[in-house]
Structure 1
Amino acid sequence: MVLNFIRGFCMALADSVPGVSGGTIAFLLGFYDKFIGSLDALIAGNKQEKIDAIIFLLKLGVGWVIGFLSAVSVLANIFDTYIYQISSLFIGFILFAIPIVIKEEKESLIFNWKTILSFIGGVALVAFITYFNPVSGSESGVNLAQLDISLILYVFVAAMCAISAMVLPGISGSTLLLIFGLYVPIISAIKAVMGFDLSYIPILFVFGLGIITGVVTVVRLIKWALDKHRPIMIFLIIGMMIGSFYAIVMGPQTLATPKPPLSIDTFSIIWFVVGGAIIFGLQKMKTMTTKEEA
């Protein structure tokens, strides 16, 4: 129970900030296959498989909820003020995670035209969404308390994309929300509801529906793709991770009061190193948890 609580807590910290995904944390800690298999069993498994999946996911879920709420209560207050330090931390997360993903998946690194196109497609997809994001850089930001059909559809689709990314060992769902210009608004809305401001409940309900829809429709597809076309998927994931550097650099422009993109002058080497240290710390934790389960 304690081990899975820690795992869930670490996943939540990753899911709550743009950088590596909760799926990456599961990958780095060595329980990714069990995690994705449990999600799949919850949807399409037999009775016993569903029971086993529920027990495992509940144990993870307790740690995840506590970790996520803890992170949200802090992030909403510091994100605007320390955007450049946090962005530097995110870059450290991703840069140091990529070699680990490559090392763990070296058997899947098969170079051919399909995998190369997949890699290029991953980079291009993230860069394209970031560059053409209709919300990024808006003078007024995004007001989630004032709903219209276009905003509802936008948030719903973004939630589906975000939860899909969260279960992949690569780019995080929070990074995708950052790309869509919804990261700060969603975090702020969750914190507002935690403070009993109920005006944001409708849009968070839409966001929740998008997450549920994404889990039901995408998780099985992801599992099938990883089982049947793993090399292509791994190259796609690495490409999206590399593309997310551009999203993070441009991230300050998605704030309610846009700031200049991250630059050499605003980059924090200290927080970049901290991000790398956290990734290596997770690798050490994987070694410890593997011994504990043996």
Structure 2
Amino acid sequence: MAIADSVPGVSGGTIAFILGFYDDFVNALHNLTSGKNEGRKSALKFISNIGIGWMIGFIISVLFITSIFEKNIYDISSLFLGFIIASIPLIIKSEINTLGNNKRNIIFLIIGIIIVVTITYMNPITSGGQSFSIKYDKLSFILMIYIFISGMIAISAMVLPGISGSTILLIFGMYVPILNAVKQVLKLNLEYLPAIIIFSSGILIGIIIAIRIVRHLLRKFRSQTIYCIIGLMTGSIYAVIMGPTSLEVYNPPMTITTFNIIFFTIGCILIPALEKLKEVLKNS
């Protein structure tokens, strides 16, 4: 989830949905922020397991993998395409009754596609990853508010399957500054710590708001929400194809010549394999 969240394209929420624990993830976050004591204990255990893996994955991604992505973006994008295309039939299969009995809600699938394609199209791809500093001596009140709102909206996207929070940060022009600030803080350069604290505060508020909305939609309007999620994931195919244009060093969109069939096949194989592993673990 962290690796998906930290690069433009597919979101961590998509990975959670693909691996079949999205509902548990949403419910656990809800119980952690507003549930009763018993619910909070089990939610804390669940979120801790994910959180530890997420933090490790994010640190690895920020320190090492982001440079690998830039050098091998088309290979990784091909892998993500394999993930998405292989997972959509599995999701449809798992929700076949919900979807089949409410076919008129397919309009929400189209809405989901349009949302992701529109957001991706808005990316500042001509900026070539233009950056600015968010060191403490550069922070104005307006910039602090902007960083806070960016965190709120980015984490909302990360929670939802489809578009990644990194893509949202790119639209806000915050992807490179935030990534650089995280790198500097990990290297104990505390000049960037105030900006990270502000951004993290936005993330916390965003999680509380987004989770309540998503949980309510899944409980009250499950068919419409699942159709929309499938639409978001389908639209993220376009986001992944355009992902190379959003890197700090501009790369052209993926084409048939830069598409890597080997990595795509690996992605297509891994998803059913993980699904099978999940069933084995559940029955053991």
State the distance in 1 between where 2:103 and 2:92 align: 13
State the distance in 2 between where 1:19 and 1:285 align: 26
State the distance in 2 between where 1:190 and 1:119 align: 35
Residue aligning to 1:79: 69
**Residue 127 (structure 2) pairs with residue 138 (structure 1):** yes
**Residue 47 (structure 2) pairs with residue 57 (structure 1):** yes
Residue aligning to 2:199: 207
Residue aligning to 1:12: 2
Q: What's the CA shift for 1:286?
A: 0.9
CA contact (8 A) 2:2 2:54 kept: yes
Aligned counterpart for 2:268 among listed residues 267, 276, 282:
276
Residue aligning to 1:243: 235
Pairing of 1:31-50 with structure 2 (within 5 A): 31-50=21-40
State the distance in 2 between where 1:140 and 1:22 align: 22
Give the 3 Å change call, closer, same or farther, for CA 24–139 of structure 1 in structure 2.
closer
Consecutive unaligned residues of structure 2, counting only runs of 5 or more, are none
Q: What is the aligned-residue RMSD (CA, Å)?
A: 2.7
Q: What's the CA shift for 1:211?
A: 1.2
Residue aligning to 2:278: 286
Normalising to structure 1: TM-score of the pair? 0.82
CA contact (8 A) 1:181 1:254 kept: no
Normalising to structure 2: TM-score of the pair? 0.85
How many equivalent residue pairs?
279
Amino acid at match of 1:50: R
Give the 3 Å change call, closer, same or farther, for CA 205–176 of structure 1 in structure 2.
same
Give the 3 Å change call, closer, same or farther, for CA 34–158 of structure 1 in structure 2.
same
State the distance in 2 between where 1:269 and 1:64 align: 28
Consecutive unaligned residues of structure 1, counting only runs of 5 or more, are 1-10
CA contact (8 A) 1:119 1:236 kept: yes
Give the 3 Å change call, closer, same or farther, for CA 13–282 of structure 1 in structure 2.
farther
Deviations 1:41-84 (A, max 9, x none): 12221222223322332233222222322233222222222222
Give the 3 Å change call, closer, same or farther, for CA 162–203 of structure 1 in structure 2.
same
Q: What's the CA shift for 1:231?
A: 0.9
